[in-house]
Structure 1
Amino acid sequence: MLEINMDDVIAVVQSIRAELIAIAVFLVLAIVITAAVNRHTVADQATRKLAHSTSWVVAGIAAVVSVTMMLTGPLSNMITMATAEKHELSAETIDKTNKLAVDIEREGITLLQNNDGMLPLAAGNINVFGWASTNPIYGGTGSGALSDAYDTTSLLDGLHDAGYKTNDELTKFYTDYRTDRGVIAVTSADWTLPEPPASTYTDSLISDAKDFSDTAMIVIGRVGGEGLDLPTDMNKDGVVYNDNSSDYKDFPEGTHYLELSQSEKDMIDLVTKNFDNVTLVYNGANAFEFGFLKDYPQIKSVLWAPHPGQAGFEALGEVLNGTVNPSGRTADTFVKDLTKTPNWNNFGAFQYDNVAEFEVESARGTRSPKFVDYVEGIYVGYRFYETADDEGLINYDDVVQYPFGYGLSYTTFDQKMGDVTYANGKVSFDVTVTNTGDTAGKDVVEAYVNPPYVNGGIEKSTANLVAYEKTKELAPGESETVKIEFDDDDMASYDYQNAKAYVLEAGDYQVSINENSHVEIDSATVTVPTTITYDSADNTHNGDATVATNVFDEAEGDVTYLSRADHFANYDEATAAPTDYSMPDDVKSTFYNNGNYDPTKFDNADDQMPTTGAKNGLRLIDLRGADYDDAKWDQLLDQLTFDEMDTIIANGGYQNAAIKSIGKVRLSDVDGPAALKDNFTGVSSIGLPANIALACSWNKDLARQYGETIGDMAHEMQVSGWYAPSINNHRSAFGGRNFEYFSEDPVLTAGLAVEQVLGAADRGVYAFTKHFALNEQETERNGQLCTWSNEQAIREIYLRPFEEVVKASNGKPQAMMGAFNYVGNTYASAHVGLNQTVLRDEWGFKGMLETDYFSGPNYGYQTADQAIRGYTDIMLATADTTNHVTDHSATSVIAMRRAAHNILYTAVNSWRYEDGQPDANMPAWKIATIVADAVLGVALAGLEALAVARFLKRRKATAETVAAAK
């Protein structure tokens, strides 16, 4: 999703271009007539003055009509949203939300290192170093940005509230240096990392600091956001940042954003030379390179404090002093060298060199298709590192700093695995967790599966998270028994080359409980006696309504995918940078954008025109609670006209529109993911911690509370739809939206996202789970980005969280948001296989699917005609562009009818309709427009009447003068 930006401005101007031209034309005509009708061409003064007056009255009428057409036409929805009544949060809800934010951050903060038991640290004096300590990261940018309408707890506030006194002299030193960081916006960024050069720390400043306390904290911060991925090369053209000194470059050649800058290195050198007890706090969402820690034994403890929202920093001081025992676990793998990850050479956008025929001109210049290859296949994150270690490709300890699922505590736990049973398609066992230390705390039970692998067979990782649970807080010596249960088809793999279905191969499956993805606690063997292929109607995978078989063959492309065969023998070939930048001819033949898509070419001559405009007397409220397939839906849909269907399909930006004839009121849908943010009224909710913090908590109960709290705030703000949660994958540590996406693991993501969606749904709020699908990068996301991946990876990694969210809702009304990118060579929001075959037919999704932000002329490939035929229902558009349906054929109207059904089914089952028909008063601005038009109409008519009267008076006077002269 986008905030209001230049694309919005351009789209608005384009949508009112005809009206602006009309005003200009009549203005010019009035000027021309005024100039032309002068004493030299019309001697009669009365006629000349009448012509002058009438021309300007006509110009005025044209202006009034044009402005009215703009206001009631292309600008209507925007003005309605901007002038809507503002509904603020209650003090009670603000307080409750802030408390939840702190609870999430308490469990999201992850203790990565604690040598010599440095932490917890008794409250007292502490020196806090690092410019980020005075300007920390609270959330991401873009649609995930937080509101400035509410109080924010700073990092230093959190320490002070926990009883620490921080060095004011250091704080002043940093705030005097700079008070703001570089701006990271949707379309541009300043990646400057303000950090005073070590040479600017005076001897007295350091001396005073040593006198103040013998303990130091260093804060390192990294920001990310929508629209731009984090730079993989800080010296690449287009990357903007300022060095902190003219004596050196902060980022020498070959360095990236997720490693220390030179100023940060120098600052750490300075601090560690003067302090032996140092805590490092990393305040960021993206996995950072911590290989430098081996060089600094003085840095004894390391805390990862992900984006805490507006109140979450309260938890940092509590974790530091031991009031809260950290229980966070990493949601991603932290490696020592990010340049050696399998996707390093294939992250970003690569320009095709032979696609001139697909170039489109937009307000942002010429756009042409690009591509990205998901070469690593299923070996994403820890799945690669654990398998590569087992296959001998890597030495694990040389490569991985902190495994996935890793986190330390101030106490110790013992986990005992009970007997594992496998019966009736379910694997189940108990895990008894005991606090064996002397401090209360929570633990996480992580269950993994290592399936049998045949060399050259179906690709399988040696470690696959299959289930997880978090304990309650356990007192010293206290135990809790956690039940782990999962279906055997959760251990299946997708065979896209042979069976073209999910397959649970016969053999021994090692089921384990682990401290993290790498360290096993205990395990047992589950034996599957015979191979099960999920390829029949009475034997589908994971409860699919129809058999899951290959849908994405065309998205595989001509790509060599990483394979475990022969100990990853093809690693170098598969992970190399692309060498062929040409789009194949067969791909070209079915590539569409706004330059070559013609809906009439895809009309079906056998389609029969549906009924429209019938008088069946139904209102939308009559369908609340009715089944999706209830016959009454057909009667209601028969009532809709083409224009009514087009209105609700086309105008889906931050709302779904009203349809007066059936009592459908306008509903408000607003941005997320960590808050509710109305970009038009300016009203926003409290910002909760980003999803990366929730992911590090591994706590499903907190996720449920998160969704419920969003729902509660939505009620107070009169909001029905929430543009969240965002559940794409952390394919790369450099993903710009990793703060709002959960994890590199689809199972961890799914478990938490399900609870968020169900929590919101419990309050009658439909969550737009997004971005569907394969939207793992921001670079050229709306630049006709062809994303190539194989079906196994698509299903097992990238679609898995979406699948779980849909199935957990059990067919109840839902919403989902598409992605900007292409899946293979087809725009995601027009991909029939994705949006119909998989989403609706296999998973049973019922509800509305919306595009991501719609700016067809600016992006060059979005059109409502193609989207509705691709089983997308509603356009996230705020201005009239290519978001209206142009084809009036039976094929098109059938697609419109289906889309309207999905939108209305979702809308009527939202909380706004739970007490009957909502009020639908005419917006105040429309009433004002009508009044203004009437007043101006009367005024202009009066002016013309006055002009005519004066004309007649002058003519009469002239006639009398002539008569008298005779």
Structure 2
Amino acid sequence: MLQINMADVIAVLNSIAPHLIAIGIVLALAVIITVAVNRRTVADTATRKLVHAESWLAVMVAAVAAVSMMLFGPLATLLNNASTERYMLSGETVAAANDLAEEVQSEGITLLKNDDGNLPLQNTKVNVFGWASTNPVYGGTGSGSMNATYPTVSVLQGMANAGLETNEELSEFYTDYRADRPVVGFWDPDWTLPEPPASSYGEELMGNARDFSDQAVIVITRVGGEMADLPTDMTADGVIYTDNSTEYADFAEGEHILQLSQSERDMVDLVTSNFENVTFVYNGANAFELGFVDDYPQIKSVIWCPPAGQTGFTALGEILAGTVNPSGKTSDTFVYDLTATPTWNNFGDFHYDNMDDYAVDYLDFRGVETHNTPTFVNYVEGIYVGYRYYETAADEGAIDYESTVQYPFGYGLSYTTFSQEMGDVTYSDGTVSFDVTVTNTGDVAGKDVVEVYYNPPYVNGGIEKASANLVAFDKTDELEPGESQTVSISFDDDDMASYDENDAQAWVLEAGDYGISIRSDSHNVLDEATVTVPETITYDSEDNTHNGDQTVATNQFGYAEGDVTYLSRADHFANYDEATAAPATYSMSEESMAMFLNNDNYDPTEYDDPDDAMPTTGADNGVRLADLRGADYDDPQWDQLLDQLTFDEMDNLIANGGYGNAAIDSIGKIALVDLDGPAALNNNFTGVGSIGFPASVAFACTWNVDLATEFGDMMGRMARELNATGWYAPSINNHRSAFAGRNFEYFSEDPTLAGVMASGEVAGAQAQGVYAFVKHFALNDQEANRQSMLCTWATEQSIREIYMKPFEITVKDGGTTAIMSAYNYIGPVYAGASANLLTTVLRDEWGYQGVVISDYFLGQGYQNADQMVRAGNDFMLATTDITNHITDESATSVIAMRQATKNLLYTAVNSWAYENGEPESATPIWQTITYVVIGVAAVLFVGLEVLAVKRYLSRRAAARNADARG
């Protein structure tokens, strides 16, 4: 079903307004002429009637012409998308996808606690408590939604599939309380957590539960989504929430959503007072405050079950029943107090108080006219994101680790035990390598993860460095009891380099001892060795670049540092309180303000280069796009092809990139389709979609690159069956804060884990000829104000080491040829119009060869195709005409358009659509209908014109005869 929002409707009306006005003017003229040419002004009836007829025939011609211009102009993209053929998945693919989704979840579910061997369950009968047990979280919202085409497996059905019998009376009690889940959508999300008050259970219900089984499972959920960061204060203005009782509030002032509500705590009290063997299941993507489980000795087991997709809850049932051994590891750190994290005071909604002159009016997704001034967020923690802070702060004596961190990054239990033994470490020719022997020392078959960290030498006050940094990982096969497997680890020494933004302004591998360790998680060392780098290596010359860079990486984002105090390790994090405090100023500096651009103050002609020569356009070289399949990016034939294109052809391709890219008939370029969704392919126009997989955070918790690659391959396979060549995913922004709404869609707080897993997904999709748009590049790590000129302030070091690193991995290792830019600004520069980001770093440094698309294009007061295309944002994710067309036709613009067109055509021709030569270009059905209507209108016009003339001549003859008789 076609999905429409009011902003699109209004944008469409605005784009076709000139055509509607033209029709209105012609119609008004016809009425005026009809009224004016009456018996008083024209006595001759024949002439009067002819004028009337010709006036309305003119209206007909004008209307047909205007409607045709609308259809083939501003409405073409929408009509192409809406009228596309509905493709469906084959039964074989659906079955294979369901099996893979279940396998992913079986390795993504993470066992956090299991005292007294409580799990697997010893009793096949089990009481399942918690309203969420009847309405769990399958995915996210917005682009992360599941497709309604396919059925989902619920928590209770998953347990039944695993052979467990649940208490139906208890489940019916919850569905009677409320059957539907509150909607956390784009606008006015409802954060209500339905949970029956403990007083409503009644002794009979609880007595029956005790009689049914001595085992209890509690399920609670949390969900976030696109445009919906999780509330940090549930009582704040604007937070929609309905309490479960009139006798108490679920949350007190200042309490956040990632802790138990009062109703949930009362329910936990009730369950633990009635059962001695309790398993607590947290179903959500955002790290939750689980400290309360330590208060209840009855809660013997704790499971983290990320959003499970359409079939993943069967895996939960199998883990509870013991037919599957959990092997997940946390992708984030679980701390006792989320309000004490370094990001707490600098995440959310911050508006400038001196930027009124830069305010813009735009239509939001609802079509509501919005007046916004620029906003900001300060990444004050620098490189100390997640475990990097907690491990380093513990080493520096700045925190008490045990009272701060409950479950470390990379932590997870199993129903068996493992040992890991580190072999001899060699360091030769810039490569660190060693073997790790993993042995199953327990009684049950299972898988284990090898996690490798490095601890670099640190000088007080020197380059910022964390004492624990994930550098490599691998997952074993399933090992039988007593079985061993040797895992080979190898990485380059420049993977341990730090970015020195102050002195060298380059990547630097400082001389000294580097601790190389294998750990069960980020905190607990299993074995370690030392690698000594004899002398400092600075990667600052053409023959000595960092990590294979094509050009030397040097400072590009100094302007993004702003007037912010950043957290430093110096003197044992002495500036922690100052750095992590709430913003000290809400004013942008004059220096940064001078760089700030939006659609009100950007004029492309001011940036035209008078020395640029106009490229050739419209040549007749006879080159077809299919001729370039497999050709090098620098093949000279590309210039011959590009010479053939006209300005309008390039502009149409660049401007209309919403969920696909346009056809160019002159070179054999067919229209291609892109589909949305990190966990499921969704066609927003036909309503057809694919099987929904577990959330990206579940993939991260598997620590299994092979599964990620299989997933990418499956997404590519499904995309082909749905006739799509592009996939808007994976999303690899950072879990900077547990409250970020799209943490389900992003992988981890760690850039290496995110980058390696996403790289596998990209490679899998690419192998099927499907290009994956890795997004959102870069620093789009919260939903609040993301479309409101959100100025993100960060150090160059953190930008390179944390926030750009996953993208770098997918480019260099995954081979991605498609990237989506972000809505936010980096400092005072819009990410989608940042040449430093999209050209200097992405293409010049990393050697990227592919296309960059914008995030969804509504103009929004700062998205401007002229500015974006010059910076390296090649085409616009637009479905209507706003500011997505090139308005400046200078040589500078055409050169940029030509490059953008090349990038898009290079990606398109190397997709599966061209694997068998030049594909046939099908004429959209709406065009065929339009041509038929135009033809019918032409015949009708000719007929009416002939009839009008005949009647005129007949009336004239009759008038002459009457005059003769008179």
Shift of 1:947: 4.3
In structure 2, the partner of 1:752 is 757
List aligned pairs for 1:700-849, cutoff 5 A: 700-809=705-814, 814-849=817-852
Structure 2: distance between partners of 1:589 and 1:138: 46
- Partner deviation per Cα, 1:507-535 (whole Å, 9 max, x = no partner): 11111111111111111111111111111
875-884 or 24-33, which moves further after superposition? 24-33
Query: What is the alpha-carbon distance in structure 2 between the residues aligned to residue 162 and residue 693 of structure 1?
Result: 20
Name the counterpart of 1:457. Answer: 462
* Whole-angstrom CA distance in 2 between matches of 1:831 and 1:3: 31
Separation in 1, partners of 2:387, 2:343 = 13
Residue in 2 aligned with 1:867? Answer: 868
C-alpha separation in 2, matches of 1:851 and 1:698:
30
Tell whether 2:608 aligns with 1:603. Answer: yes
Instruction: Name the structure 1 match of 2:366.
Output: none
Work out the CA distance in 2 between the residues paired with 1:926 and 1:99: 41
Per-residue CA shift, 1:711-758, capped at 9, x if unaligned?
111121111111111111100001111111000000111111111111
Shift of 1:406: 0.5
Task: Give the aligned partner of residue 91 of structure 1.
Answer: 91
Aligned to 1:433: 438
Amino acid at match of 1:181: R
Q: Percent identity?
A: 65
Find the partner of 1:491 among 490, 496, 513. 496
Structure 2 Cα separation of the partners of residues 759 and 61 of structure 1:
53
Alignment partner of 1:614 out of 619, 639, 643: 619
2:345 counterpart letter in structure 1: N
Deviation at 1:156, TM superposition (A): 0.8
Is contact 2:713–2:767 with CA below 8 Å preserved after alignment?
yes
Deviation of 1:152 after TM superposition, in Å, equals: 1.2
Equivalent residue of 2:518, what SS?
strand
2: CA distance between counterparts of 1:603 and 1:145? Answer: 43
Deviation at 1:675, TM superposition (A): 1.8
- Per-residue CA deviations over 1:359-416 (Å, capped at 9, x if unaligned) read 1222322122111110000000000111111112211111111110010110111111
| CA–CA distance in structure 2, aligned partners of residues 370 and 798 of structure 1 | 20
Distance 1:28 1:136, change over 3 A: farther
The question of whether the paired residues in 1 share the 8 Å contact of 2:762 and 2:816 is answered with no
In 2, Cα distance between the equivalents of 1:204 and 1:22? Answer: 74
Residue 854 of structure 2 corresponds to residue 851 of structure 1? yes
Instruction: For 1:409-424, list aligned pairs within 5 A.
Output: 409-424=414-429
State the match for 2:680 in structure 1: 675
C-alpha distance in structure 2 between counterparts of 1:958 and 1:239, whole Å: 80
8 Å contact kept, 1:350–1:581: yes
Tell me how far apart the structure 2 counterparts of residues 289 and 236 of structure 1 sit (CA, whole Å).
Answer: 20
The alpha-carbon deviation at position 23 of structure 1 amounts to 2.9
- C-alpha change, 1:516 and 1:276, in structure 2 (3 Å) is same
User: Structure 1: how far apart are the matches of 2:660 and 2:23?
Assistant: 30
Deviation, 1:782, is: 1.1
Name 1:265's counterpart in structure 2: 265
> Which deviates further from its counterpart, 228-237 or 830-839?
228-237
What is the CA-CA distance between 1:635 and the residue it aligns to? 0.9
1:11-26 equivalences in 2 (<5 Å): 11-26=11-26
Distance 1:442 1:95 in 2: 25
**Superposed counterparts of 1:573-722, under 5 Å:** 573-722=578-727
Alpha-carbon spacing, 1:922–1:320, altered in 2? closer, same or farther (3 Å): same
CA distance in structure 2 between the partners assigned to 1:361 and 1:44 by the alignment = 56
For the structure 1 residues 262 and 33, does the alpha-carbon distance in structure 2 shift closer, same or farther, using more than 3 Å as the test?
farther
Tell me what 2:395 maps to: 390
Relative to structure 1, is the Cα distance of residues 57 and 209 closer, same or farther in structure 2, using a 3 angstrom cutoff?
farther
Deviations 1:277-296 (A, max 9, x none): 11111111110111211222
Partner of 1:557 in structure 2?
562
Q: Distance in 2 between matches of 1:50 and 1:236?
A: 71
Q: Distance in 1 between matches of 2:961 and 2:241?
A: 82
Deviation at 1:40, TM superposition (A): 7.0
Distance (whole Å) between structure 1 residues aligned to residue 237 and residue 935 of structure 2: 57
2:190 corresponds to:
190
Match in the other structure for 2:251: 251
2:883 matched to which residue of 1?
882
State the SS of the aligned residue for 1:288: coil
Would the alpha carbon gap of residues 177 and 48 (structure 1) be closer, same or farther in structure 2, given more than 3 Å must change?
farther
Letter in 2 for 1:243: D
**Partner secondary structure for residue 351 of structure 1:** coil
Give the C-alpha shift of residue 29 in structure 1.
4.1
- Partner Cα separation in structure 2 for residue 28 and residue 147 of structure 1: 48
Match status 1:240 vs 2:221:
no
Q: Is the 8 A contact 1:3 1:142 kept in 2?
A: no
| 1:209-265 per-position Cα deviation (integer Å, ceiling 9, x unaligned) | 112112111110111111221111122222212222222222221111111112211
Residue equivalent to 1:284? 284
TM value normalised by structure 2: 0.97
Counterparts in 2 of 1:395 and 1:954: CA distance versus 1, 3 Å: same
Native 8 Å contact 1:813 1:905 kept in 2: no
The answer (yes or no) to whether the contact 2:121–2:215 under 8 Å persists in 1 is no
1:511 is aligned, of 509, 516, 529, to: 516
CA contact (8 A) 2:152 2:311 kept: yes
Are the equivalent residues in 1 in contact too, given 2:121–2:320 (CA < 8 A)?
yes
Q: For residues 739 and 27 of structure 2, what CA distance do their matches in structure 1 show? A: 53
Letter in 1 for 2:488: K
Partner residue in 1 for 2:145: 145
Residues 419 and 430 of structure 1 are in contact (CA less than 8 Å); yes or no, is this contact kept in structure 2? yes
Residue in 2 aligned with 1:902? Answer: 903
- One-letter code of the match for 1:897? R
Q: Name the counterpart of 2:339.
A: 339
Contact kept, 8 Å, 1:3 with 1:143, in 2: the verdict is no
Deviation at 1:60, TM superposition (A): 3.2
1:41–1:156 CA distance, 2 compared to 1 (3 A): farther
Letter in structure 2 aligned against 1:821: N
> 1:885 is matched by which residue type in structure 2?
I
Secondary structure of 1:350's match? coil
* Equivalent-residue separation in structure 1 for 2:31 and 2:203 (angstroms): 74
Q: Deviations over 1:33-82 (max 9, x none)?
A: 55556677767666665555444443333332222211111111211121
- Kindly provide the amino acid, as one letter, of the partner of residue 342 in structure 1: P
**Counterpart of 2:70?**
70
SS in 2 for 1:393: coil
Counterpart contact for 1:813–1:906, Cα < 8 Å: no
Read off the aligned partner of 1:896 and give its amino acid letter. M
1:769-805 deviation digits (Å, cap 9, x = unpaired): 1111011011111111111100100000011111111
Instruction: State the 1:199 CA deviation.
Output: 2.2
Tell me whether 1:471 sits opposite 2:460 in the alignment: no
| Higher mean C-alpha displacement, 38-47 vs 662-671 | 38-47
Q: 1:681: how far off?
A: 2.0
Look up the SS of the partner of 1:511 in the other structure: strand
State the Cα deviation string for residues 865-896 of structure 1 (Å, max 9, x = none): 10111011111111111111111111111111
| Shift in alpha-carbon separation, 1:228–1:81, aligned structure 2, 3 A | same
1:7-44 Cα distance to aligned partner (Å, 9 max, x none): 32232222212122223333444455555566777676
Offset of residue 543 of structure 1: 1.1
Q: Give 1:231's aligned residue.
A: 231
SS of equivalent to 2:454: strand
Q: Which runs of 5+ in 2 are unaligned?
A: 364-368
Deviation at 1:952, TM superposition (A): 4.7
How far apart are the structure 2 equivalents of 1:792 and 1:112?
33
Q: Counterpart in 1 of 2:159? A: 159
Distance 1:338 1:516 in 2: 20
Equivalent position SS for 1:882: coil
Q: Which AA in structure 1 matches 2:852?
A: L
Other structure's SS at 2:642 match: helix
Q: Is the 8 A contact 2:710 2:761 kept in 1?
A: yes
User: Is 1:938 paired with 2:939?
Assistant: yes
| Contact 1:102/1:315 (<8 A) preserved | yes
Q: Deviations over 1:287-339 (max 9, x none)?
A: 01112112222111111111111111110111001101000000000111111
| Paired residues of 1:361 and 1:860 also in contact (CA < 8 A) | yes
